[in-house]
Amino acid sequence: MSKNEYIFVVVAHSDDQIFGPGGTLIKYASEGKKIKTIIFSYGVLANPHYKKDVIRKIRYDESTEADKFIGGDGTIFFDMNEGKFEKEFYKKKYDQELKNLILKYKPQKIFTHATDDNLPDHKIVSKLVLETYDKLSKEQKFKTNIYTFGVWRFFKLKQRNSPRLVVDISETFDKKIEALKIFKSQLNSMISLKWSVYIKAFSAGFKHNMSLAEEFYKLR
C-alpha cells in the first residue's frame, strides 16, 4: 500500500470521527496512512450559554488535539449551523470545497455517517457526501470507496446485503477511549454514549471472531 494513501472522514460534529471510526483511524494512521478529518459544524448550538467564538475555539482545539493524538493529518472545519446543513452546504459552496479536497488528496476511502442514523444532522451529512461524490465521479471519473458507520443497533434489512468492512481494533481500542476523553466540552454526550462505544466494539468483534472490531457498510 502506498505511503501517501489518504483516508477521509466526514462528520457532523467535532467528536464523531472518534466515536465512530476512531479505532480504525488510529490503526490506519499507525500504518502510515494519512487521515483528513472534515467536520461540518463547530456545534455552537449545543452550548447556548457560551459565545460562539468561544465554542468555536474550544471545538477546534479539542479536535486538533485529538487529531494529533491519533496521528491524523489535520482537521478541516466547515462552518455550518446545526439543523441547516442541507441549505448552507450549497449556499456557502462547501460542495465545491469538498469536491476540491477529494480531487486534491484522492482518498482511497471516505468514512461518513450512516444514511439511517438517528440524528438528522448525521443523516444529512451522509446524504450530502454521497450527492457530492456521485456528481464528482460522473464529472471527473474519480472513483473511491465510501463507508458508513452508524449508531449501535441490530442490523437493518437494507444494510444486510451491503458489503462490509470489518476492522480489528483490539490493539487500538484503548487509544480510542483515551482520544474521546480529550473532548472535555462534550462531557454530556460522552457519558450518554460511551457505553455504546463498548457494546459496538464487542458485538462487532463477536460477530467477526475478533475481540474488538469496528464495522462499516460500503455504499459506493
C-alpha cell at 200: 459496538
The answer to whether 16 contacts Zn ion (rule: CB under 5 A) is yes
The answer to whether 12 contacts Zn ion (rule: CB under 5 A) is yes
> What's the residue count for the chain?
220
In the complex with Zn ion, the residue whose CB is nearer, 26 or 125, is 125
Rounded to a whole number of angstroms, the minimum distance from the CB of residue 138 to Zn ion is 29
Residue span binding Zn ion (CB under 5 A) among the ranges 6-14, 28-36, 131-139, 156-164? 6-14
Rounded to a whole number of angstroms, the minimum distance from the CB of residue 101 to Zn ion is 20
Give the whole-angstrom CA distance, residue 11 versus residue 21. Answer: 11
Going by C-alpha positions, the residue among 39, 30, 29 that lies closest to residue 9 is 39
Give the whole-angstrom CA distance, residue 120 versus residue 59. Answer: 20
The residue assigned the cell 466540552 is: 185
Neighbour count for residue 166 (Cβ, 10 Å): 16
In the complex with Zn ion, the residue whose CB is nearer, 119 or 210, is 119
Q: How far is CA 57 from the centre of its chain?
A: 20
Rounded to a whole number of angstroms, the minimum distance from the CB of residue 55 to Zn ion is 15
Rounded to a whole number of angstroms, the minimum distance from the CB of residue 210 to Zn ion is 26
The answer to whether 109 contacts Zn ion (rule: CB under 5 A) is no
List residues binding Zn ion (CB under 5 A): 12-13, 16
